[in-house]
């Protein structure tokens, strides 16, 4: 399969089940929405070292937010359902509660699993907090020096998918970066997905474990490192001198597959030799995204 001269390898991306919450942040202006969201999602690229994976899903129009103000939706994802409420309480308490003019709402109201977030954060009010039930949902008003912080008492949790990916194999570092930027831009705002790494792009793709240090959970993916081509079992075809990875997490497999189709299509451009994906023979996770099946009709 070729798309605009770029070879699509016969392989699949291997992903795994995660737990997901959607947080809706609003504020008086887009500036403060963005500030809160950037802090909330900071240092949240991979559960390997960050405990949570998070990213901005999309910007929301004032007509689409609970309080009619500018907003964004953010997805936060963990491997364990017990871990997610801890991460929500930590991050919302340290980054959204502290940010001027913000309020924080649940973005998964239909989810049957409900996590006590506002019910924990309310104690910051030192007994001065107040609550009100609207439409069957309780909201907490926590007094702060600026005024009040409004937060929903419970947030929904659903099963999602983490680790969808594709690899861009290019002739040069400039070509790889241009293709990765085009892919990330094309997937920005795609409903139900986030790209948790910086700018949506990963240069340090990893493999499970380590050849030398048994305690390492992950180490560099040497098969795709151009500088190691002569001394390792390389997976790189001739002419490839730079590889970048796009990782996609989502609320479900369909959302990830849809985003991958858009992103791979945008990455197929001059200077790119082929598109591949990271997998471990199906042993890592139950969700398999076959590149050629996803891109059928685009070739």
SS3 call for 191: coil
Taking only the tens place, the pLDDT of each residue in 150-204 is 999 999 999 999 999 999 999 999 999 999 999 999 999 999 999 999 999 999 9
Residue 92 near residue 11 (C-beta atoms within 8 A) = no
Taking only the tens place, the pLDDT of each residue in 130-149 is 999 999 999 999 999 999 99
**Alpha-carbon span 105 to 125, nearest angstrom:** 18
**Alpha-carbon span 99 to 106, nearest angstrom:** 18
Place of tokens 């020096």: 145
Cα angle at 228 between 223 and 232, to 5 degrees? 55
How high is the pLDDT of residue 104? 98
**Alpha-carbon span 114 to 211, nearest angstrom:** 42
**Alpha-carbon span 118 to 111, nearest angstrom:** 17
Cα angle at 261 between 9 and 57, to 5 degrees? 130
Which CATH code fits 18-158?
3.30.70.520
**Alpha-carbon span 6 to 15, nearest angstrom:** 24
pLDDT at 283 over 90: no
User: 284 burial class (0-12, 13-18, 19+ CB within 10 angstroms)?
Assistant: middle
Domain with CATH 3.30.70.520 in the chain: 2-14+161-294, 18-158
Determine what percent of the chain is predicted with pLDDT higher than 90: 93
Residue 255, phi then psi, degrees to nearest 5: -65, -40
Residue 291 near residue 13 (C-beta atoms within 8 A) = yes
- Work out the mean pLDDT of the chain and round it to a whole number: 96
Strand 103-106 versus strand 147-152 pairing type: parallel
Residue 246 near residue 201 (C-beta atoms within 8 A) = yes
pTM score, whole prediction: 0.94
The answer regarding whether domain 2-14+161-294 maps to CATH 2.60.120.1600 reads no
How high is the pLDDT of residue 211? 86
- Helix, strand, coil shares, percent, the chain, to 5: 25, 35, 40
Place of tokens 């995660």: 18
pLDDT at 38 over 80: yes
**Alpha-carbon span 67 to 85, nearest angstrom:** 24
């Amino acid at each position: 399969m070729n798309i605009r001269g770029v070879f699509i390898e016969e392989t699949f991306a291997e992903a795994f089940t995660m737990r997901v919450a959607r947080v809706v942040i609003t504020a008086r202006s887009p500036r403060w929405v963005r500030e809160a969201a950037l802090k909330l999602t900071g240092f949240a690229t991979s559960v390997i070292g960050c405990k949570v994976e998070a990213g901005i899903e999309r910007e929301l129009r004032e007509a689409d937010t609970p309080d009619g103000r500018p907003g964004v939706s953010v997805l936060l994802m963990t491997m364990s359902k017990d871990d997610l409420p801890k991460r929500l309480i930590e991050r919302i308490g340290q980054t959204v509660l502290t940010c001027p003019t913000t309020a924080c709402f649940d973005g998964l109201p239909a989810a049957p699993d409900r996590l006590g977030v506002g019910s924990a954060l309310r104690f910051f009010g030192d007994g001065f907090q107040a609550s009100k039930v609207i439409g069957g949902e309780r909201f907490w008003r926590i007094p702060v020096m600026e005024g009040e912080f409004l937060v929903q008492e419970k947030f929904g949790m659903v099963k999602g998918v983490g680790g969808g990916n594709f690899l861009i194999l290019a002739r040069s570092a400039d070509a790889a970066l241009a293709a990765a930027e085009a892919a990330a831009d094309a997937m920005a705002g795609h409903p139900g997905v986030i790209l948790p790494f910086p700018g949506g792009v990963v240069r340090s793709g990893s493999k499970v474990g380590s050849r030398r240090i048994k305690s390492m959970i992950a180490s560099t993916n040497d098969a795709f490192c151009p500088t190691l081509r002569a001394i390792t079992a390389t997976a790189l075809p001739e002419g490839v001198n730079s590889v970048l990875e796009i990782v996609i997490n989502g609320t479900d497999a369909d959302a990830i597959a849809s985003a991958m189709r858009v992103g791979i299509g945008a990455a197929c451009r001059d200077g790119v030799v082929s598109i591949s994906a990271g997998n471990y023979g199906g042993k890592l996770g139950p969700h398999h995204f076959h590149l050629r099946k996803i891109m059928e009709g685009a070739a």
